[in-house]
Amino acid sequence: MYLQELKIGNVKLKNNIFLAPMAGITDLPFRIICEQYEPGLVFSEMISSKAIFYGDEKTKKLMNYKNEKRPIATQIFGSDVEAMAYSAKYVSEFSEIVDINMGCPAPKVTKNGDGSKLLLDLEKAKEIMEVVVKNSKVPVTLKFRKGWDNEHIVATEIAKIAENAGISAITIHGRTRAEYYSGTVDLEIIKKVKESVNIPVIGNGDIVDEKTALNMFQETGCDGIMIGRAALGNPWIFEKIIHYLKTGEKLEEISLNKKYEVIKKHLMLLVEEKGEITAVKEFRKHLAAYTKNMPNSSAFRNKINTIENRVELEQILDDYWKGMERVNV
């Protein structure tokens, strides 16, 4: 009933369970790992429109989509109209969908008038949506929060602006910028947004397992859901939610052996993509997430936080996993 194919513009998606764009997380290796578990759509890390406009090569590398399942959405952010127009045209050459970020709460983004700061300037937000739609060769989507703070709740207003500007689907995170990730997601505002427009509405926020996924659908009537932080160290969450929505039954928890295989593959992909030194440093946060709530994981994390080469990291990982196997015998 809730799990279904979804069409965004002319892009047909196999299901309506999405991986959210996350800066520093949803790079090529992580997306490939998640894609094993069949999300309907994955998003790039958020990409600076100004960096694309000025030809930054490091930023362009974030749009490496080799060996990936399609479709892929590229998320861009910025408040400079010319840069956003140029970026939309540029990234639409590589992506099936272009997504506009008007939800990021990070101060380093909002201080420049970007991300969720645009929720305080709806005229500028409208102008950006219109130029991105005009310049993109593929459907455009929008991700936003319910407002800047409780005095500026603009969710339904910006949803209607988006629909009128030609946006093909919207994702709403049911928190204000002021809330960051504190408190609980406001499902009622997502429901109001869904009732206010005719384009697909994707619900986002606090989806951490099968039950919260189902609850998002039931309480809001949304057309799809987007999973962000809960996928970190837990990429099989997509398979679990899809199975649950399809059958009403929960899959068994992933085995230690299978988790170990996923971790080793993730590290290998990261080394291939970014080189050993960068990969080992970046993989620490992933390992911390993969081993969260496991026995002695705190001591394990302390060990890996100073490691800078792959051989040593893998040795510590192997030793830790052997200890886990003995515990579970």
Residues annotated catalytic, as ranges: 104
Q: What angle is formed at CA 67 by the lines to CA 309 and CA 292, rounded to 5 degrees? A: 45
Specify the DSSP element, H or E, that contains 74: strand 72-77
Give pLDDT tens digits for 15-40: 999 999 999 999 999 999 999 999 99
Is the pLDDT at 294 greater than 50? The verdict is: yes
Q: Look at strands 11-13 and 6-8 and give their pairing.
A: antiparallel
Specify the DSSP element, H or E, that contains 224: strand 224-227
Q: Count the helix, strand and coil residues of the chain and give each as a percent rounded to the nearest 5.
A: 50, 15, 35
Give pLDDT tens digits for 141-162: 999 999 999 999 999 999 999 9
- Please enumerate in sequence order all residues whose Cβ is within 8 A of that of 94, keeping only pairs 6 or more positions apart, or say none: 63, 65, 72, 74
Tell me the C-alpha distance between 221 and 211, whole Å.
15
Closest C-alpha among 83, 108, 97 to residue 24 = 108
Percent of the chain with pLDDT over 90: 84
Closest C-alpha among 155, 156, 158, 146 to residue 185 = 146
What is the sign of the dihedral through the CA atoms of 113, 118, 121 and 126? positive
Burial label for 57, CB within 10 Å (0-12, 13-18, 19+), is exposed
- pTM, to two decimals: 0.95
Closest C-alpha among 248, 145, 270, 267 to residue 203 = 145
Write the single-letter amino acid at 103: G
Query: What is the 8-class DSSP label of residue 153?
Result: B
Specify the DSSP element, H or E, that contains 145: strand 140-147
Is the pLDDT at 116 greater than 60? The verdict is: yes
Domains of the chain: 6-247 (3.20.20.70), 256-327 (1.10.1200.80)
> What are the tokens at 10?
């002319």
- Please enumerate in sequence order all residues whose Cβ is within 8 A of that of 322, keeping only pairs 6 or more positions apart, or say none: none
Range with the poorest average pLDDT among 194-208, 216-230, 239-253, 289-303: 289-303
- Classified as helix, coil or strand, 100 is strand
Residue bearing tokens 């909002």: 110
Answer yes or no: are the C-beta atoms of 26 and 45 closer than 8 Å.
yes
Specify the pLDDT at position 310: 92
> What are the tokens at 212?
């919260």
Is the pLDDT at 96 greater than 80? The verdict is: yes
Write the single-letter amino acid at 220: T
How long a stretch of residues is the chain? 329
